Amino acid sequence: MSGIKRVGVLTGGGDCPGLNAVIRAVTKSLITRYNIDVIGIEDGFDGLIENRTRPLHYDDVSGILQTGGTILGTSNKANPFKHPYIRDGKTVCIDCSDKVIRNVNDLELDILVCIGGDGTMGIAKKLIDRGINIIGVPKTIDNDLYGTDITFGYDTAVSIAAEAVDRIHTTAQSHHRVMLVEIMGRYAGWLTLGAGIAGGADIILIPEIDYDLDAICKVVEKRSKKGRRFSIIAVAEGAKEKGGELTISRYIKDSPDKFRLGGISVNLGNEIEDRTGLETRATILGHLQRGGTPTAYDRILSTRYGVGAADLIGKGILNHMVALQGNKIVSVPIEQIGGKTRTVPLHDELINAALEVGTSLGVEEI
């Protein structure tokens, strides 16, 4: 730890419940335990590109534990290596990494604490290769970050989605409908699987298992014939039919993700109604899953991660990400994380649990 005087903190990617809890924990821990100055970087990597920063003092991060979002702001388009720039009326991407490195040096930052998901860790790995010291903190509601058992934000998002499924139940029962609830998660099914199990969905569709429309229709028709005149389907935005394609809501020119997933629930609902004659409705939860106050679990986990990040700095362990493995806070080299997606294994105990209680996963068998 000798020689470390100033640490920068940024939040990258989409917003997520628990971000402020991490900022609070890492800032207070660095100040009180190690007498290190903390600099907040605004709007993710944009703040490093445009040199927008502000000091974070102890009182600046007090009272934000239960507040959603991030006091520093964030961006899911900011990438120093592919920064969108308007030239002659057209959007082009330029490499601003040299400027970022100059700004880090001018600010006399010894270390950057990067709080984010796979995109943020991928950028962090490239900056490490350029000589910047980094500590990572795993954030994403999708829970798809490699190297950790769970990311903060996931528990809150699961709780929000499960409550939505609960509320859909009463409408489905009253109107005898097939109700589809579309849940975020991109290419991983953790969020939909967790919310579907917690909410008692009859069918859960995740990206890891391409669904069979015939199998889905058999389930809802069987339930209807048995007098269960409604069905609840939790469907991941990245789910697709066997031999089919992902459902894309729009294309984005200046984003690291070139397209937005969305709308699978509407399309699938129409197909189910056409085949079975059963009335269907679809609800897309969207950004409702990102907002609001974090759960107690996420507040605790975020605090543990923030303190863990400060501990790594104090011990001089650099270029690692804090992670939860089992019930222990550990560290994982960032070079092992960037560019990888943690999807749901087909033998995962959550899948087995869903099957054991009679939940369909949209196929005849796995």
pLDDT at 283: 94
pLDDT at 78: 86
How high does pLDDT run on average in the chain? Answer: 92
Residue 257 has pLDDT above 90, yes or no: no
pLDDT at 2: 59
Report the C-alpha gap between 197 and 295 in whole angstroms: 18
Pick from 31-35, 248-252, 340-344: least confident: 248-252
Spell out the residues 6+ positions from residue 51 whose beta carbon is closer than 8 angstroms to its own: 103, 106, 107
Report the C-alpha gap between 97 and 247 in whole angstroms: 34
Residue 91 has pLDDT above 90, yes or no: no
Angle at 320 between CA 318 and CA 325, to 5 degrees: 140
Residue 210 has pLDDT above 90, yes or no: yes
pTM of the model: 0.92
Give burial (CB, 10 Å; 0-12/13-18/19+) of 339: exposed
pLDDT digits (tens, 9 = 90+) for 146-161: 999 999 999 999 999 9
Q: Do domains 6-152+294-326 and 154-290+345-356 have the same CATH topology?
A: yes
Candidates 43, 110, 118, 142; catalytic one: 142
The answer as to CATH 3.40.50.720 being correct for domain 6-152+294-326 is no
pLDDT at 347: 92
Determine the residue type at 2: S
Average pLDDT over residues 126-149: 95
Most confident of 220-229, 252-261, 273-282: 273-282
Residue with tokens 């399309």, as numbered in its chain: 267
pLDDT at 255: 61
Question: What is the CB neighbour count within 10 angstroms for residue 357?
Answer: 8
pLDDT digits (tens, 9 = 90+) for 236-255: 999 999 999 888 878 776 66
pLDDT digits (tens, 9 = 90+) for 285-301: 988 888 889 999 999 99
Average pLDDT over residues 168-195: 91
SS3 sequence of 343-365:
CCCCCCHHHHHHHHCCCECCCCC
Residue 343 has pLDDT above 90, yes or no: yes
**pLDDT band, residue 90 (cuts 50/70/90):** confident
pLDDT at 302: 98
Q: Which residue has the higher pLDDT, 258 or 193?
A: 193
By the 8 A CB rule, do 187 and 281 touch?
no
pLDDT at 1: 54
Report the C-alpha gap between 249 and 31 in whole angstroms: 45
Pair of tokens at residue 69: 């979002």
- What are the domain boundaries of the chain? 6-152+294-326, 154-290+345-356
Average pLDDT over residues 115-144: 95
What fold characterizes domain 154-290+345-356? Answer: Rossmann fold (3.40.50)
pLDDT digits (tens, 9 = 90+) for 36-84: 999 999 999 999 999 999 999 999 999 999 999 999 999 878 889 988 7
**pLDDT band, residue 256 (cuts 50/70/90):** low
**pLDDT band, residue 217 (cuts 50/70/90):** very high
Instruction: State yes or no: is 142 an active-site residue.
Output: yes
